[in-house]
Amino acid sequence: MPSHHLPLGTSPGRRAFLTGAGAALAALALPAAPAAAAGRPSRPFGRYGSPASRLTSRTLYVHPSGLGDHTSVQAAVDAADGPGWTLVLAPGTYRETVAVSPARTGMTWVGASGDAEDVVVVYDNAAGTPKPDGSGTYGTTGSATVTLQGADFTAHAVTFANDFLRTDLPGNPGTQAVAVKAQGDRSAFFHCRFLGHQDTLYADSMSLTAFARQYFAHCYVEGDVDFVFGRATAVFEHCHFRTLLRTDLAGAPYGFVFAPSTARANPYGFLASRCRVTSEAPDGFYRLARPWVPGSDPTAWPSLVVRESVLGAGIDAVAPYANMRDVYPWQEQRFAEYRNTGRGAAVTVPENRPLLTAAQAATATRAAYLGDWRPAAEVCR
């Protein structure tokens, strides 16, 4: 997505986030994996079986040191031909790009420990990164560490990361670096992490006319510029959005949490319910959202509802929204809030805080957005 001349920069030591030692991650407070019983030998796949004792005939095991069926996630995806496969990922860092094609429907990825910090799929391509074959740069879409196109994809306790830093390509404006591009309908993520800077989580669909539904529960997403963006119908419940410090900028704004690009015909865009937004940056240095009307869809009508969420002091309460292009003013988009709290939610300039009525809020729900789909949180046993 265009940066629109936001200066380049990076936060120091951001690649250290993969160790799980950062203060921002400590604030996430995801449930910890159960401790192993005293004297019991460690099992790399936890309670999810092993190659010698599979959960089902369509379960594959991935282990970075060779104790599973495959050592890379992509190799396991390639081997999972057809629908309904489960990939159990042992703790480790998988430095690779992964693509799940539309033909691989009903795929589930399970982090074996139950703690997303233990299972990390990461790479460092950016929009401006040159392709090895000399055919140009990756572009925003091509920068994704993980691309998910199959319908009915589910992930439990997995970290998706893009650890590209702006200093990797000094002076290059192509700093968009996607951790996940999700395009399939009925994509669900439970207790997952999405780590990056600009354009971290691309919640999209397979075409302008496809209204892909996506669900994120108890997830953690961090970034700086437009780091949750796209045209999907995406519901976020009990999620934590964390805005990052930028040492390259002298003043606000550092960036934007949401940048929806909802198709005009789609009544539902992004819904964040009972979430929270915290920040590493100084107070008021981030905006909550700006609308993205891409060149591929100039009729887009971005939609975002943030309700019953805690907006920390990092969000500019006076001007929480901004334009990406002045020809598409945010005031003409479908942006609204309902019963948010926190310093970033204070209504200081009423015309800058579009609020839902109680009657309108009654239609801004998970059930309304997801329709006949009920995401299942249960992990296979």
Residues known to be catalytic: 199, 226
Contact 61, 34 (CB under 8 A): no
- Strand 180-182, strand 146-148: pairing: parallel
DSSP code for 24: H
Sequence-distant (6+) residues with CB within 8 A of 26 are none
Range 30-38 contact pairs with CB under 8 angstroms and sequence separation of 24 or more? 30/115, 30/116, 30/117, 30/191, 30/218, 30/220, 31/114, 31/115, 31/191, 32/114, 32/115, 33/113, 33/114, 33/115, 33/118, 34/114
Task: Order across the sheet with 310-311: list the strands.
Answer: 92-95, 119-123, 159-162, 193-195, 220-223, 240-243, 276-279, 310-311
Distance CA 105, CA 108 (A): 9
Q: Write b or e for each residue in 142-171: b if 16 or more Cβ atoms lie within 10 A of its Cβ, otherwise e.
A: bbbbbbbbbbbbbbbbbbbbbbbbbeebee
The DSSP code sequence of 193-246 is EEE-STT-EEE--SSTT---EEEEES-EEEESSS-EEESSEEEEES-EEEEPP-
- Bin 168: left if φ > 0, else alpha if -120 < ψ < 50, else beta: alpha
